[in-house]
Amino acid sequence: MTGDSPSNSPYTRGWLQSQSMQEKAIISARNPGIDCLRGISIILVVIHHVGLRVPLRETVLATFLPERVLSALIYNGYEAVFIFFVISGFLIASNTIHRWRELGSIDARAFYVRRAARIVPCLVILVSVLSILHLAGVNRYVISREGQSLPHAIFSALALHLNWYEGRTGWLPGGWDVLWSLSIEEVFYLGFPLVCLLFRRDWILAPVSFLLALSLPVSRAALAGNEIWQEKAYLPGMAAIAMGVFGAIVAARWQPRKRSFRWAFGAGGAFGVLAVLLFEDKLWRHLGNGTMLVQTFATMCLILAFYWQPEAPRWVWSGTGWLRSCGRLSYEIYLTHMFVVFAVLRIFKTSDENLWWGVLWYLPALLFSWLLGWLVAKYISLPCERAMRAWLTPQRPATNPTR
């Protein structure tokens, strides 16, 4: 006898198809402003990692751009990651509200399946590639710092504490180092459904999220004794993510009627983000660790403005297609861009290594980082995500059409 297996039954196919349609509806409703903001953030990260090795202030750009602008371009990679944190918190919470109407109704298992399908495949493949490069003795990929080892690096990356491992033992090679922020986000993903189910009501979760968001300066100040751990500790990153969660709850419950107010809100958010990126040194002298709180709050305001007015005229986003594509591919670009950065720098050093024209190497670094991210998404990330969701989705019993 032959027949449909549970995974191929009409009932299950229909259920999976409805889930797929729901996901497509969410994807099709992507906000161009938020995608642009993510695109700018990932570009700042790539530029930062190139700029540490090819300083823009020593290139031809220094003849006509202020040093402050050049510094803002190459020294805001860390700040860009915190923008990512706020966006991540907002998107995760807003999509949860979209699917289950309120955070307290979240289906924890379904949430974990989606997050695992999105994160695990690329993470496992990246760790495997980095391990092979280490064992092959490839320059810039060998873990050689005293107190560090490949097994410990692998375990820390897969067990969600690479940030703590670096804080305790020192910097890892660049390809590994990018995983510090993923450790923070993964712990957030683990705890988010539990917190939602514990507090249940959005009117309780909103102040809890906001209080956690306000703790950012305090948590950073408390960790001042260890520079690496202060940058990469869980609590500051969680505070930034919580700001995004708070913003998502506000967005779901409040829609300002006046367009002028929404535009003013966005202008204020953009001003705050740019102020931190351009004048962080001056703000830091007056606000200290509160500067990072200004940035996360301003980022939330900017995200809310984008969310409130998706009907912005089409011309506003004209010419931003590649930037928005970078935003959509930000996860894949973030995980893999160091391969491109090291390859470009290797070619740069084997050439005349002329810093004056070093700015020309930024463009291929950005373009090939995007290309590698696109390839990873198309042939690894998205196919694996679909396969894992189908595999981890509970199978429904097939209905008997003869009854």
Which amino acid, 357? W
In this structure, is residue 330 part of a structural domain?
yes
Query: How many domains in the chain?
Result: 1
Placement of tokens 């003795």 in the chain: 137
How far CA 203 is from CA of 200, 242, 247, 253, 396, in Å, comes to: 9, 15, 13, 10, 35
pLDDT at 64: 87
How far CA 133 is from CA of 126, 137, 150, 157, in Å, comes to: 11, 6, 11, 16
> Which pLDDT tens digits describe the chain residue by residue (403 residues)?
434 333 333 333 343 344 444 444 444 468 999 999 999 999 999 999 999 989 888 889 989 889 899 999 899 999 999 999 999 999 999 999 999 989 999 999 999 999 999 999 999 999 999 999 999 999 999 999 999 999 999 999 999 999 999 999 999 999 999 999 999 999 999 999 999 999 989 999 999 999 999 999 999 999 988 899 999 999 999 999 999 999 999 999 888 888 888 888 899 999 999 999 999 999 999 999 999 999 999 999 999 999 987 666 666 777 889 999 999 999 999 999 999 999 999 998 887 778 888 889 999 999 999 999 999 999 999 999 999 999 988 765 544 444 4
pLDDT at 29: 62
How far CA 180 is from CA of 31, 128, 333, in Å, comes to: 27, 17, 15
Placement of tokens 């300083």 in the chain: 55
Q: What does the alpha-carbon distance between residue 72 and residue 119 come to, in Å, rounded to a whole number? A: 30
Q: What does the alpha-carbon distance between residue 3 and residue 400 come to, in Å, rounded to a whole number? A: 11
Nearest by Cα to 263 from 319, 214, 301, 228: 301
> Euclidean distance between the first and final Cα of the chain, in Å?
19
In this structure, is residue 20 part of a structural domain?
no
In this structure, is residue 399 part of a structural domain?
no
Q: What does the alpha-carbon distance between residue 359 and residue 339 come to, in Å, rounded to a whole number? A: 19
Which helix (H) or strand (E) segment holds residue 78: the answer is helix 77-100
pLDDT at 58: 87
In this structure, is residue 157 part of a structural domain?
yes
In this structure, is residue 63 part of a structural domain?
yes
Placement of tokens 């092959």 in the chain: 136
- DSSP string spanning 259-296? HHHHHHHHHHHHHHHHHHHHHHHHHHHHHTTHHHHHHH
In this structure, is residue 400 part of a structural domain?
no
Placement of tokens 């003869």 in the chain: 402
In this structure, is residue 180 part of a structural domain?
yes
pLDDT at 23: 45
Alpha helices in 201-258 (DSSP H): 202-214, 216-222, 227-232, 234-253
Q: What does the alpha-carbon distance between residue 343 and residue 337 come to, in Å, rounded to a whole number? A: 10
- Cβ partners under 8 Å of residue 130, min gap 6: 141, 173, 175, 176
Domain that holds residue 376: 31-310+320-389
In this structure, is residue 13 part of a structural domain?
no
pLDDT at 132: 98
Instruction: Count CB-CB contacts under 10 A for residue 48.
Output: 19
Nearest by Cα to 248 from 94, 99, 88, 102: 94
DSSP E strands in 59-202: the ranges are none
Sign of dihedral through CA atoms 234, 332, 169, 285?
negative
Q: What are phi and psi of 194, to 5 degrees?
A: -65, -40
pLDDT at 396: 57
DSSP E strands in 307-354: the ranges are none
pLDDT at 20: 45
Q: What pTM did the predictor assign?
A: 0.89
Structure tokens at 199: 């507090």
